[in-house]
Structure 1
Amino acid sequence: MDPAELELLTQTLRKTMTTTAPGPALDTALAGLGWRELLAEFPDPAVATVFRLLGETGAHASALTDVVGSATLPYAGGRWVVWEYGAGTADAGLDEELPLRPVTAPTGDPVPLAVGRRAVGWWLLGTGHAMLALARGHALDRVQFGRPLAAFQAVRHRLAETLVALEGAEAVLAAAEDDLGALLAKAAAGQAALTAARHCQQVLGGIGFTAEHPLHRHVRRAVVLDGLLGSARELTREAGALVRSRGTAPRLTQL
């Protein structure tokens, strides 16, 4: 897939996700665009593009089950969830818009964690960029003491730190090729999205806490996705234990 084709696909997917109701309707629309065929033929750009756009647009679809299957998904804290439309959520800690239902024990075949973590990592990255765009727009438009918020150094620092975290996570996601790389990429994306949530909330101030502003939806989505397939904190500890047991740190990418 050349860059021109990828750009055209990105524009088409973005328009579809912003004009189609999330959930089953979006599943149908993605299937009509050939999402599953694209996943089979070009898995890496398909996953990166679709899941990043899900984060940027705030939409959701069952694309993750197309990637990992319909098995039970591990969740932070030793819990398990399934993606199931129509069941609602039984845990107030989960995103009420996502059809994630807690279960007591895993069922079905084991989840291919590496590909799943890369997919959720791209989703988290898109969510982080959505929050950054909201905060940046607010900083440019809002005037305090006769100056735009973007003119204040403290605001600039928060936005810059957010961008650096997101750019770093994207680099790790792009370089992830094996199980350890995917684990670290998911951890980096989760931490970057949580960093974005913290800094962007501070930039937006009180308006960011209101139900009328879209930030809270992205913050909630970031927290939930960070826990899916292992949180940033858990995965970082897991990676450290793995490196310690091996007695050496593998080269993850050629610098």
Structure 2
Amino acid sequence: MDAAERDLFAQTLRKMMTVASGRALDRALADLGWSDLLTEVPDVAVPLTFGLLGETGAHAPLLNDVLLHAAGRAVGGTLPLPYAGGAWVVWERTDEAGDALDGELPLGSVAAGDPVPLAAGRRALGWWLLGTGRAMLALARSHVLDRTQFGRPLASFQAVRHRLAETLVALDGVESTLVAAEDDLGCLLAKAAAGQAALTAARHCQQVLGGIGFTAEHDLHRHVRRALVLDGLLGGARELTREAGALIREGRSAPRLVQL
């Protein structure tokens, strides 16, 4: 897929996610050839698709497909997914509200399932969390550019700028980590970093937006809920950080994620 085809694919995905979500988006992506893209160009399809899910606030049960494909099984179904704290959930391919913090996602608790190859799923979730963080940053940036306080634009206050700058640095660092992630440990670290960066974005953007960020009328709360749920899927940031530390101690060396 060359640059022009990639741009066209991204534009098509963004338009689809603007008008559809959930089961409707799942069907639209299937018609687009999602399963073929996952097989032929996963390094393009996964970052673009999951990143745009985060940026647009749409959702679809595509994590199932990534894990099923990695396990050598046919896509289009569901499977139990490990969740933070030792829980297990299933991401249904319906529009029925689930019992997760983010009520838009059809996630339901289930008994423990069979082990699944987690690396590809963690990397995909990392891209989704990155997109969610970018969406929150865009909302906060728009707010501080439009609003004034004490006769000055909010964006001119150093404390506000520092919070947004810290968020941007965290998100940019995650992108580099996701691009470099290849093996199990790399994907584990990338997912942990993405979860932490998204939670950092939620904290700083909530502070910058102030009271309006707590209201149901503003979109921030949707992205915050989404980040909290996605962080827990396939292991939360804290759990994965501890797991990575144990693996590094066991191997007595730290891997180089990026060749400088």
TM-score normalized with structure 2 length: 0.94
Match of 2:231 among 226, 232, 242: 226
**How far apart are 1:115 and its partner, in Å?**
0.1
* Pairing of 1:88-237 with structure 2 (within 5 A): 88-90=97-99, 93-106=100-113, 109-237=114-242
Q: Shift of the alpha carbon at 1:87? A: 5.4
Partner of 2:90: 82
Q: CA deviation at 1:103?
A: 1.2
Q: Deviations over 1:25-55 (max 9, x none)?
A: 1111111222221111001110000000000
Partner of 1:49: 48
Match of 2:74 in 1: none
Unaligned runs of 5+ residues in structure 1 are none
For 2:9, give the aligned amino acid: L
Percent identity between the aligned chains?
Answer: 74
Partners of 1:89 and 1:15 lie apart in 2 by 26
Letter matched to residue 38 of structure 1? L
1:188, distance to aligned residue in structure 2 (A): 0.5
For residues 114 and 5 of structure 1, the distance between their equivalents in structure 2, rounded to whole angstroms, comes to 27
Give the counterpart letter for 2:166 in structure 1.
E
Residue deviations 1:159-189 (CA, integer Å, cap 9, x gap) = 0000000000010000001000000000010
In structure 2, the residue corresponding to 1:174 is in which secondary structure? helix
CA RMSD of aligned residues (A): 1.1
The amino acid that maps onto 1:27 is D
Following the alignment from structure 1 to structure 2, what is the Cα–Cα distance between the partners of residues 112 and 105?
A: 15
Counterpart AA for 1:213: H
Length, aligned pairs only: 250
Report the Cα distance in structure 1 between the residues aligned to 2:16 and 2:95, rounded to whole angstroms: 22
Question: Does the 8 Å contact 1:52/1:124 carry over to 2?
Answer: yes
8 Å CA contact 2:177–2:257 kept in 1: the answer is: no
TM-score (norm 1): 0.95
Q: Which structure 2 residue ranges, 5 or more long, are not aligned?
A: 69-77
Query: Equivalents in 2 of 1:37, 1:137: separation in Å?
Result: 37
Q: Is the 8 A contact 1:71 1:110 kept in 2?
A: no
C-alpha displacement of 1:86 = 5.3
The answer (yes or no) to whether the contact 2:83–2:234 under 8 Å persists in 1 is: yes
